[in-house]
Amino acid sequence: MSSCFTISLSLLFFFINFAATEAVPTFLRHYCPNATLFTPNSTYQSNLNALLSSLSSAAADSADGFANAIVGQNPPDQVYGLFLCRGDIDITTCSNCVATGKQDILQRCPNRQVSVIWYDECMLRYSDVFISSVMEQVPSFTMHHTGNITDPTRFMQVLEETMDDITARASVRKSGKKVAIAEANFTSLKKLHTLAQCTPDLTVSQCNTCLRAAILGLPRGKKGGRMFTPSCSMRFELYPFYNASAIAALVPPPSYLPSPPALVTRRNGTYLFLLFVFR
């Protein structure tokens, strides 16, 4: 009986480990209007294939979990693309996600001139217009935990304060990953976990604007929620859903003080102190 239990437990751990190493990205949503289609076997299509391959290779050694690319000489055939991985995932998971996205986006969005696909782990998009360093708030979508909050008034207060905090902290990062996490005490037993992220090609103010709008789009009165746009995303849950030590390892925890003016000290290529205020 007990050895049987041990065996099934070991098997369970085996499968958990297996699942962790061979992780298939969790598909969330895709968006690709069928209003603009490209001609099969056109230059646009071959440029798109080259673009997706280039992004997929870039993901294999992108420390920032982000890259953009352009393929093609002349505007009608030029394709622009980028990917962004969630700030706490490692390069292998990021690279797997983009590689899956590369195949998936062509299947889900056949002959589409403009597409975006989201997974839990990454986002991949391409377009026939310039998208690098451009803040894009549409299309957007939200997801929510089905459970309701028992004290929504206090919950929303804690949530908004925490989201303001991570919006400011994610925005000020001027290089590398534009991501921030925070935990807050909702009740003595329940902790709120939050994450905000922008594509790192955005300016401080673009990222701030994108995340502020995302806060307004978050579901109200729910135990968890997410908001996604092509340029930024936010999530909150009453359980830890990210790898906090991976985020902590990015840069030393920013000294985030509520009063002094913007001051960023750069030393040896690493931002050591990030102090910023938006109020």
Ligand X SMILES: *[C@@H]1O[C@H](CO)[C@@H](O)[C@H](O)[C@H]1NC(C)=O
Which residues make up the interface to ligand X (CB under 6 A)? 34, 40-41, 146-148, 184-185, 188, 243, 245-246, 249, 268
Distance of closest approach, residue 67 Cβ to ligand X, in angstroms: 20
- In this structure, the strands spanning 263-267 and 66-71 are unpaired
Task: Count CB-CB contacts under 10 A for residue 209.
Answer: 19
Nearer to ligand X, 107 or 146 (CB): 146
Cα pseudo-dihedral 131, 206, 250, 120, rounded to 10: -60
Nearer to ligand X, 138 or 189 (CB): 189
Distance of closest approach, residue 83 Cβ to ligand X, in angstroms: 20
Cα end-to-end distance, the chain, whole Å: 63
Nearer to ligand X, 89 or 135 (CB): 89
Cα 276 from Cα 254, distance rounded (Å): 10
Distance of closest approach, residue 246 Cβ to ligand X, in angstroms: 3
Cα 156 from Cα 149, distance rounded (Å): 10
Nearer to ligand X, 2 or 245 (CB): 245
User: What residue type is 262 in one-letter code?
Assistant: A
Distance of closest approach, residue 102 Cβ to ligand X, in angstroms: 19
Where does residue 133 rank: exposed (0-12), middle (13-18), buried (19+ CB within 10 A)?
middle
Nearer to ligand X, 106 or 213 (CB): 106
Nearer to ligand X, 42 or 103 (CB): 42
Could you tell me which of 88, 75, 86, 81 has the C-alpha nearest to residue 58?
81
Cα 63 from Cα 176, distance rounded (Å): 8
Distance of closest approach, residue 3 Cβ to ligand X, in angstroms: 29
Distance of closest approach, residue 159 Cβ to ligand X, in angstroms: 14
